[in-house]
Amino acid sequence: MPATEPAVELSPFVVSSDQDTGYSAQSTLSGTRTRTPLKDVPSAIGVFTSDFISDLGAFNERELLAYSASAVPEMGDQAANVSGPMGSVR
């Protein structure tokens, strides 16, 4: 059956990624007292940007840490270095 209404023509738009770094964080306040470029932090850290957390739809630490390569959730009587309301992380 042929369309009886004319096609809708949308206005053109431009998508630019000049300033976009994706989920890549460039600096941190967590490991230091001042904003420091991540390349200058002398320890291995994992960074979750607010864009990444928003896109995941994560509502708590357990949902977020499922995407961490270095976090291992612990259950039961196992000893842990950090404990919180969502479980323990070594």
Mean model confidence pLDDT for the chain: 76
Gap between the terminal Cα atoms of the chain: 63
pTM value? 0.52
User: The tokens of 45 are what?
Assistant: 């850290």
Rounded distance between C-alpha atoms, residue 87 and residue 72, angstroms: 10
Task: List the chain domain ranges.
Answer: 27-73+82-89
SS3 88: strand
According to the model, what pLDDT value does residue 87 have?
Answer: 53
pLDDT of 38 strictly over 80: yes
pLDDT of 54 strictly over 70: yes
Instruction: Give residue 15's pLDDT band: very low, low, confident or very high (50, 70, 90).
Output: confident
pLDDT of 61 strictly over 60: yes
pLDDT of 31 strictly over 60: yes
Q: Which residue has the higher pLDDT, 80 or 66?
A: 66
Please compute the mean of the pLDDT values over residues 22-47 and round it to a whole number: 81
